[in-house]
Amino acid sequence: MELNDKIYVAGHRGMVGSAIVRRLTSEGYTNIITRTSSELDLRNQQAVFDFFQTEKPDYVFLAAAKVGGIQANNTYRAEFLYDNLLIEANIIHAAYLNKVTKLMFLGSSCIYPKMAPQPLKEEYLLTGPLEQTNEPYAIAKIAGIKLCEAYRDQYGCNFISVMPTNLYGYNDNYDLNNSHVLPALIRKFHEAKEKGASEVVVWGTGSPMREFLFADDLADACLYLMEHYNEKELVNIGTGEDITIKDLALLVKDVVGFEGELTFDTTKPDGTPRKLMDVSKLHSTGFRNKIELREGIALAYADFKEKHPTPALP
């Protein structure tokens, strides 16, 4: 990518898209195109086609998606499948029609079978049933990967797919009803600390294991792969290390400075027992993440406090 190439970041206001824009800007890229969802509804095929025809981007980072945690995924099953299918199909086809030089599609680690061996290797895709709670979202993401592969096979498009692990960082979603586990924990512990609560209740048993990557590290990896990777096969992006939800909760509790107790609501679902990425393919390219978990949580917590200030007491 040249510094003046036209680069479209779809989903630039989300956690991932905003991290990619920050990374591109810091590297000196000057021609970044963005549109908010009110300016361009990515589910509207004609609107997307018109946008691509007018702007003619050279490179596309497809980071736009309807996303949420376990509850949102399970509640809005039709929306998660329909909206994500439309977004990716419209952008990928428009990129082909307008001869985009290269496109990167960002998937999710939930594409892998629920009981796949750990760590999750790229070739485990489509080898078993998915986790039921987020199956619609996973199927949409799998369709995006297969679209990229099919357009490469049929039309020779340089469309690549990357699968990030669980992400957190700046501009995360802290809504307790549809956020992911780490931002939900940050908010829960912060509010408990502010209220002087005696305990914080965490969903599930605390035994599932999860891997977490700071979104700015993902953006680094995306830029690196956009420049250096041109293969059909998808690439996992993660740290290669995981932690139990219980130990994660204790870490967040410590970073936030909450002094009370930690209890687990075992009536709530755990989700997949373990999701650790095999990142040997990524590491073999020479890329490694830089931000460790404790440091990342501290950065995310500072961002949360800045964007969600506690209302002043009357």
Tokens 């939930």 sit at which residue? 110
Residues 126 and 219 in one domain: yes
Residue 311 pLDDT grade (very low, low, confident, very high; cuts 50, 70, 90): low
State the Rg of the chain over Cα: 19
Q: Is residue 22 part of a domain?
A: yes
> What three-state secondary structure class fits 123?
helix
State residue 5's pLDDT score: 98
Residues 11 and 155 in one domain: yes
210 labelled ligand-binding: yes
Residue 309 pLDDT grade (very low, low, confident, very high; cuts 50, 70, 90): confident
Tell me what percent of the residues of the chain surpass a pLDDT of 70. Answer: 98
Measured at the CA of 175, the angle between CA 32 and CA 238, to 5 degrees, comes to: 55
137 is catalytic: yes
Q: Is residue 85 part of a domain?
A: yes
17 labelled ligand-binding: yes
100 labelled ligand-binding: no
190 labelled ligand-binding: no
* CATH number, domain containing residue 40: 3.40.50.720
Q: Is residue 282 part of a domain?
A: no
163 labelled ligand-binding: no
Q: Is residue 281 part of a domain?
A: no
Question: Which residues are CB-neighbours of 34 under 8 A, at least 6 positions away?
Answer: 8, 9, 12, 13, 17, 21
Q: Which of 59, 137, 151, 170 is catalytic?
A: 137
Helix, strand counts (H, E) of the chain = 10, 13
Residues 122 and 268 in one domain: no
Residue 118 has pLDDT above 50, yes or no: yes
Domain extent, residue 60, equals 7-168+212-237
Among candidate residues 95, 109, 193, the one with its CA nearest the CA of residue 147: 95
Residue 314 pLDDT grade (very low, low, confident, very high; cuts 50, 70, 90): very low
State residue 304's pLDDT score: 96
107 labelled ligand-binding: yes
Task: Considering only residues 273 and 20, tell me which one the structure prediction assigns the higher pLDDT.
Answer: 20
pLDDT tens readout for residues 29-58: 999 999 999 999 999 999 999 999 999 999
Residue 264 has pLDDT above 60, yes or no: yes
Joined tokens for residue 7: 């680069």
266 labelled ligand-binding: no
Q: Is residue 280 part of a domain?
A: no
Q: Fill in the DSSP letter of residue 310.
A: P
Residue 312 has pLDDT above 60, yes or no: no
Residues 66 and 106 in one domain: yes
- Write the DSSP string, 170-231: TT----TTT--HHHHHHHHHHHHHHHT-SEEEEES-S--EE-EEEHHHHHHHHHHHHHH---
pLDDT tens readout for residues 281-294: 999 998 999 999 99
Mean pLDDT of 140-157: 98
Q: Fill in the DSSP letter of residue 277.
A: B
Residue 124 has pLDDT above 80, yes or no: yes
Residues 117 and 249 in one domain: no
Residue 176 pLDDT grade (very low, low, confident, very high; cuts 50, 70, 90): confident
Mean pLDDT of 175-189: 87
State residue 134's pLDDT score: 87
Can you give the length of the chain in residues? 314
Structurally, the chain folds into a number of domains equal to 2
Per-chain mean pLDDT for the chain: 94
Residue 8 falls in which region: left (phi positive, over 0), alpha (psi -120 to 50) or beta: beta
Residue 271 has pLDDT above 80, yes or no: no
Residues 149 and 203 in one domain: no
Residues 74 and 217 in one domain: yes
pLDDT tens readout for residues 60-104: 999 999 887 777 788 889 999 999 999 999 999 999 999 999 999
Q: Is residue 106 part of a domain?
A: yes
274 labelled ligand-binding: no
- The span from the CA of 151 to the CA of 155, in Å, is 5
Residue 313 pLDDT grade (very low, low, confident, very high; cuts 50, 70, 90): very low
Mean pLDDT of 4-27: 97
State residue 31's pLDDT score: 98
- The span from the CA of 173 to the CA of 187, in Å, is 10
Q: Is residue 173 part of a domain?
A: no
288 labelled ligand-binding: no
Residues 155 and 256 in one domain: no
Residues 219 and 266 in one domain: no
Contacts 24+ apart (CB under 8 A), 115-123: 118/274, 118/275, 118/276, 119/240, 119/276, 119/277, 119/278, 119/279, 120/236, 120/275, 120/276, 120/277, 120/278, 121/236, 121/278, 122/163, 122/233, 122/234, 122/235, 122/236, 122/278, 122/281
Residues 23 and 121 in one domain: yes
> What three-state secondary structure class fits 65?
coil
Buried b (16+ CB within 10 A) or exposed e, 19-55: bbbbbbeeeebeebbbbeeeebebbeeebbbebbeee
Q: Is residue 176 part of a domain?
A: no
